[in-house]
Chain A
Amino acid sequence: MDEALVRSLTPGVLTVLVRRGADFAAAEDAVQDALIEAFRVWPSEPPRDPRGWLVTVAWRKFLDRARADSARRRREDLVEEEPPPGPAPGVDDTLQLYFLCAHPSLTPSSAVALTLRAVGGLTTRQIARAYLVPEATMAQRISRAKRTVSGVRFDRPGDVATVLRVLYLVFNEGYSGDVDLAAEAIRLTRQLAAAIDHPEVAGLLALMLLHHARRASRTAPDGGLVPLAEQDRGRWDTRMIAEGVGILQAALARDRLGEFQAQAAVAALHADAPTAGETDWVQIVEWYDELTRLTDSPVVRLNRAVAMGEADGPRAGLAALAALDDSLPRYAAVAAYLHERDGDPETAARLYAEAARKALNLAERDYLTRQAARLNAGRRR
């Protein structure tokens, strides 16, 4: 059974229930129940019409719950009605679902969880395992999120930018547990790109593909991080890169530049270089200038300092770095890298050790400690 294929039917099934009059929260629960039943039954009894099967079972689950809740007259009335056939679901409904699950009244963690369940069709247990929290905690997070959006009209267009932020958060979580969140984010962004024609949606999809294409080369056999310059470029997924570049070029041609397109352009320039030494750092600096204009983010300025160090030499990079706040995450790591390239291993080793103490995750900490160790060992020789 192709689990991703089953899950791709989720938004369509959910919107059918909502259009038949089920409220969003109850419909979402019913679809979740139907999915769990599908995963149980389909391996031995695959249905001829998977989508029809899911709609029928989800609607029955919804009615069962409504019946059980006999105190609520309105639902009782609904039970007596035959479900109206309803028009074939259009892409607009799926889009509305994305907007609802990324509604600005939700916290980022709630929007992520609700999107993965209601749009992605993941079970609460899978989402909980992916984010390393207890299943009961994730169940609460999802039901609170549904309460928060319960008053939101389903037919109002939302802001694409909020949806993109949620999908980007999912992508950046990477993978743990049995769900590959990066692949799931790509699937959901692909589905969104099919539902709405927007250059930033295309930009985000291109960015994800270009990063994902390098995944195999990013981790050493011992689990350590491999920096871009040292990656085995033969292991990059060239088909995925070509797809990302194609999507990006079509988006850029529309001349409505945004943050994700600019980030994807940087990723495309890296992907395009046959060796690290052939990277077009001058163009990368120009893209970071664009990004600075678009976002004015200190993290972008830090990345720009790295690119300056490659384009114009480590002194130029250090000069760009001097203008930034040294409490920025990864500031010490960038400074260490530039000082080493500037021929000062002693300062670099000290800064790498400092960067390791401030690292944001274990993989980075181990990598930075190793860099400090490498320089210290070199100086002892």
Chain B
Amino acid sequence: MAKYLLLKHYRGAPAAVNDVPMDRWTPEEISAHIQYMNDFAVRLEKTGEFVDGQALAPEGAWVRYDGEGRPPVTDGPFAETKDLIAGWMIIDVDSYERAVELAGELSAAPGAGGKPIHEWLEVRPFLAAHPTTTE
């Protein structure tokens, strides 16, 4: 088994095929989308492949250390930052091929007009902490 991170972007991914902002969908299309996402997670729990899924707020801040005895510096959000993560799902699957297959299904979630969004999802393998076999 290996873990993969499926990343969804607010910004920074190539444009989706069916690229319409959600507030331009009909309320029924939004319901269908949410249902699809929920069903997907439930199905992965049943197959024993779901680990975690979280959504992130679009707005955040950059923070860095500013030296001994000083409060951290906060700044941003910066408009020029290209990449903005919207959320993730972590899956634990048997193969890379299975991870790609599941990402493909997630990307088929219905959007405007009830048609699949075809959005680009990023699939990133986790670095395991220990080698799975010794020698």
- What is the interface of chain A, defined by CB distance below 8 A to chain B? 222-224, 349, 352-353, 356-359, 362, 365-366, 369-370, 372-374, 376-377
Contacts and interface: CB of A to CB of B under 8 A. Distances in A.
Contacts of B31: 222, 224, 370
B47 to A, nearest CB: 21
Interface stretch (B19-27, B66-74, B95-103): B19-27
A357 B29 CA distance: 19
B17 interface: no
Contacts of A357: 57-59
B132 interface: no
A224 B19 CA distance: 24
A23 to B, nearest CB: 38
B77 to A, nearest CB: 12
A358 B59 contact: yes
Using C-beta atoms within 8 Å of the partner chain, give the interface range for chain B. Answer: 10 to 19
B30 interface: yes
A144 to B, nearest CB: 24
Nearest to A372: B23
User: Which DSSP category, helix, strand, loop or mixed, fits chain B's interface?
Assistant: helix
Contact of A223 (B22, B29, B38, B55): B38
A377 B26 contact: yes
A373 B58 contact: no
Interface in B8-37: 22-27, 29-31, 34-35
A13 B62 CA distance: 49
20 contacts: A222-B34, A224-B31, A224-B34, A352-B23, A353-B23, A356-B23, A357-B57, A357-B58, A358-B57, A362-B55, A366-B34, A369-B30, A370-B27, A370-B30, A370-B31, A373-B22, A374-B27, A376-B23, A376-B24, A377-B26
A30 to B, nearest CB: 34
Contacts of A349: 23
Nearest to B24: A376
A376 to B, nearest CB: 6
Contacts of B26: 373, 377
For A224, A356, A362, A369, the residue with the greatest tally of chain B CB atoms inside 10 Å of its CB is: A369
A134 to B, nearest CB: 11
Contacts of B23: 349, 352-353, 356, 369, 372-373, 376
A222 B31 CA distance: 7
A2 to B, nearest CB: 29
A359 B22 CA distance: 15
B131 to A, nearest CB: 24
Nearest to A354: B23
Contacts of A374: 27
Contacts of B27: 370, 373-374, 377
Contacts of B57: 357-359
B55 A222 contact: no
Contacts of B29: 373
Nearest to B35: A222
B43 to A, nearest CB: 16
B31 to A, nearest CB: 5
Contacts of A224: 31, 34
The 7 closest A-B pairs by CB, nearest first: A372-B23, A353-B23, A370-B27, A377-B26, A374-B27, A373-B27, A369-B22
Given A224-B31, A366-B34, A370-B30, 20 more contacts: A222-B34, A222-B35, A349-B23, A352-B23, A357-B57, A357-B59, A358-B57, A358-B59, A362-B55, A365-B55, A366-B30, A370-B27, A370-B31, A373-B22, A373-B23, A373-B24, A373-B27, A373-B29, A376-B23, A376-B24
